[in-house]
Amino acid sequence: MNLENIYHQELMQFVQDHLKEDPAQLLLRHKNVPGIDLKIAAQQIAMRQKAAKKLPFWASHPSLIFPPSLSMEQCSSELTAAYKAKLVLGQTFIDLTGGFAVDTFYIGKNFKSVSYLERQQELVELARYNLSRLLMDQEIKLSLVHGESIQFIEESQANYDVLFVDPARRGSGNQKMYQLKDLEPDVSQNWDILKAKAKVILIKASPMLDIRAALKELPEINEVHVVAVKNEVKELLFLYSGKHEPLKVVATELGSKSVQQFSFKVEEETNATVNYSLPQKFLVLPYACILKGGAFKSFAQQFGLNKLHPHTHLYTADELTGPVHGRVFEVLEELKLDKKTLKTRFPNGKVNVLTRNYPIKPDQIKKRYKLKDGGDDYLIGCTLLDGKTAVLRCRLSQEDS
């Protein structure tokens, strides 16, 4: 397939000229433009609009070609790809599941030799086209292969410093899959093969994956990285480096203003003790990546906080000695959850609602009492140390990162 014949200069210029337009409206308005395949042009405009936030550097590059929607949805963002690039070093690198080649590009920039493998021929051609332009100023030996990952690695005579794999998370019926054993390739089933071919292995997995279950399948993993962007967990990364060290979990919040990390050893979390108390002046909700990583006791210890209840992952203190990796609320009062009280406190019906270990979900509370998110106040429903539930009116004291 000659992509330059399909995505020729006139088409790419048309895309640039209409980048801010609605692709659907564009197709309706322009019935025919000589020399331009309007469906292809509209698809490129739509994908570039999606890429503007997820892949701003790529979106700013006028000559790159973007893939169909599913590949755009599944690829890493620039933020998370750049994060992965900082975790590994070496001379030779292979990406066994290349896809749109975002991770190949960002991780591969640090290596002398880069191999990209992908089972979809169309994506291989796309990666060849894009990487030749993105890496044109760098002295990297680049190899792109169309093939099945495990078969290729078994038959190859080469060994690598770093091997990266992002197993496909879609089943035969296009349903989303999460467990490692259900993905392709199955890294747990083929672990010995991968280990024989690389000194370091980095696995990207779904944020929905159960970390403990995954570690039972891959007991030799050295580090787990829980990566969140603006307090939403985006990726789980499992790093094998061959070191005989206690397992470490690193929770990373890639915020709009800063990067915050919280790391702990799993054995330290197991042995940690935590104090419990009723709500004090401040209430702390840890970042999503910290909770996903399972630092329920370590978090309290490190920041000198008390917990509200063993299963309520909210923390409290009368005084905070410094910044905390989470959202900090000032507790104003405990409220009775009834229509009269809520109408008095929030006459316009606007208040933000959160719950932790509480029998009613936020959406149910909002529907039942006709509330809408908004304003400066928060209603936080939770279970306290005596097992009783409470609803606290709070105000945000420390903004998200």
Give the 3-state secondary structure of 178-223.
CCHHHCECCCCCCHHHHHHHEEEEEEEECCCCCHHHHHHHCCCCCE
Helix, strand, coil content of the chain in percent (nearest 5): 35, 30, 40
ω before 185 within 30° of 0 (cis)? yes
pLDDT tens string 238-257: 999 998 889 999 999 998 77
Place of tokens 């787990």: 224
Residues in the chain: 401
Q: How confident is the model at residue 346 (pLDDT cuts 50, 70, 90)?
A: very high
DSSP 172: T
Cα atoms in the Cβ-side hemisphere of radius 13 Å centred on 165: 30
- Average the pLDDT over 21-30 and give the result: 89
337 phi/psi in degrees, rounded to 5: -85, 85
Place of tokens 């895309």: 15
* Cβ neighbours of residue 22 closer than 8 Å, sequence gap 6 or more: none
Place of tokens 């000032």: 330
pLDDT tens string 347-376: 999 999 999 999 999 999 999 999 999 999
Calculate Rg over the CA atoms of the chain.
25
Distance of CA 235 to CAs 39, 96, 141, 253, Å? 33, 17, 28, 11
* Cβ neighbours of residue 295 closer than 8 Å, sequence gap 6 or more: 249, 251, 262, 264, 269, 286
Angle value at C-alpha 232, between 248 and 245, nearest 5 degrees: 5
Rounded Cα–Cα distance for residues 339 and 141 (Å): 68
> Is residue 48 classed as helix, strand or coil in its secondary structure?
helix
Candidates 132, 82, 127; CA nearest to 106 is 82
Rounded Cα–Cα distance for residues 118 and 350 (Å): 50
pLDDT tens string 93-140: 999 999 999 999 999 999 999 999 999 999 999 999 999 999 988 889
Residue 190 and residue 152 in contact, taking contact as beta carbons nearer than 8 Å:
no
> Is residue 42 classed as helix, strand or coil in its secondary structure?
helix
pLDDT tens string 162-221: 999 999 865 555 556 667 888 889 999 999 999 999 999 999 999 999 999 999 999 999
Strand partners, 260: 253
